[in-house]
Structure 1
Amino acid sequence: MTLNPPKTQRKVTMRDVARAANVSQSTVSRILSPASSKSKVPISEETKGKVLEVVKELGYQPNQYARSLRGQKNHVIGMLIADISNPFYHPMVRAVQDVASQYHYSVIIANSDHLHEKEMLFCETLLRRPVDGAVMIPYHLTDDDLQNLKARTGMAISAVGNHVQHPEVDVVYADDTKASYEAVHWLIKHRGHERIGMICASHKFPVIMRRYGAFQKAMADAGLSVPPEYVVEGDWSVESGRRAITSLLALPKPPTAVFAASDTIAIGALAAAEEMNYRVPEDIAIIGFDDIPAASWVRPQLSTVAQYPGEMGTLLAKALFERIRGEYNGPSRRFEVPCRFFERASA
């Protein structure tokens, strides 16, 4: 069966599905929401198959919001994070949940694993679930993706990241560009390093592009060059840091210092360097980014740029609930949370 969606830009409705499948709207409703149906009249498998095929062809999305009474709230919000196992996100999630509980809301948490397809899957889930808003930490979602979600649901959204520029999405971000520059500049000015490498995740992530750009600028401003082999790209894991520092220290002329794009990467690099009998910081200095709890537990303690995810989570949630509760309906607000460099033993 091949069907053409309505030519107008309006949203596909249950009536469109019923008309295309040549069944009643109540039949469509019973097939899509069997748990809520009180009818005991059976529906044939042929009819179910036809309706579901039409739903797929037309791209129909059940509108849970329209099922709620006008003005009624569902008391649920969604939260998309990149990696629930990364301790950086734990204070942020806790802060969002704490604010949500003040308004008697529950939080549905989804993990994207830094994958675009999982971020899009979360958006599709929000289209089907009766939620009033969402907190996003998007690594791949574009402003167009957010616009599509808002246009189809009308929900409030707040997001992390200076790259988000949607006119109706409130944004909380850390000034990691400035902080990255200052960390590398500190290695040059206060520790005398000239051969500095960088270990990072993929450059396809906006956050990595910002931190890498700041690293390069700090080096250029000091009149220092960065050999291509001094920049090692991997992922956000401890193991990635271990692999990267191993390759850097194997170079004929290795760097004397490394700026890592996250603490998890830096901790892996620190561990591997010491296993290879390099002294930290005498032979290789290491700086991380985030100031996760483990940064002050490892030995030597990790020099790092601190972000404040708990404060960021509180700002995200408060901005979201101001929109959900109708206390603010204006254009996007942008909240910058300053970073702070902690000089510890690793550099």
Structure 2
Amino acid sequence: MTAAARPASAELPPSSAADTQFEEAVRASLSAPVARRPRLGRLVSGAIGLLLLAWFLDRAARNEALAWDIFGRYFASSQVVKGLLTTIWLTAAVMAMSLILGAVVAVMRLSDNPVLQALAWIYVWVFRSTPLLVQLLVAFNIGYLVPELSIGLPFGPSVGHVASVKLISATVAALIGLTLHTTAYASEIIRGGIQSVPAGQLEAAWVLALSPGRVFVRIVLPQAMRSILPSMGNLLVDTLKSTSIVSVLAVPDLLYATQLIYNRNFQVIPLLMVATVWYTLVTSALSVVQFYVERRFSRGANRQQPPTPIQRLRTAFARRRPAAGSASSFQPQVVQK
């Protein structure tokens, strides 16, 4: 029988049991995590970092000026908790209104109308050029500039009048000042995110004759969120910390609550530590939420999602323990014929 007439079943000999075991061992060795040898520089730098951390914690625990008993007494007191809740709802309200107004200002900046472009640019320029404290003081003293607020048509008759002092309290002035200030930065973040969408995506949507609203919701917004979320998360954390400046208007936020307490007992440092720890806890919680939101919106861009902290711990512990039945325990057997 010639080679051309050889049947297909006789082209390759059947594999032996040793070959099958060897292939399985190779697959197991490729899938098993690689154990890296510890590097001397990494171990030394890690030991120095842990030593400095232990020294700092020891000095903080032994420092009598911190007065940890005073810290523990007022950390969860009713006055401090009320101030914390005021800070949280003020931050949430400012961010919600700033996102809405910032989207409007961003659309005005991107529009083809030169008047809208100019107005949006002037707004962003003014509120980014002046300090936040000045804006809060102007909002608090708006009654001197506009004594009365009237309801009616512009340049026409008015229906009623009301004194500005009765409407704009310290809390309302803080809310208005923070919102106007944050809107200027939110609008630039949203505008940058919209402009980061490739032009080819919009051209493809126009070819498909999609409506402008559908294009924005289905195409522009999901891709723009990947660029918007990191900067917007930073703006949220910065807004939370910026609410501490409203204490100059006697708004009962977290910092103002601790100031009232240490003005009575003169324990300045322990009460400031109370405010510091609460701000740190809230910002840490916001950072965790930001991580998972960014991870969700990056599903279409990354083939593999970044691991969560829990997944990283599981991987680290899995590398410590040798896998059962790994390639290192495989001993190939020699089949004697």
Normalization by structure 1: what TM-score?
0.19
Q: Which has a greater percent of strand?
A: 1
Normalization by structure 2: what TM-score?
0.19
Give the greater-gyration-radius structure (CA). 2
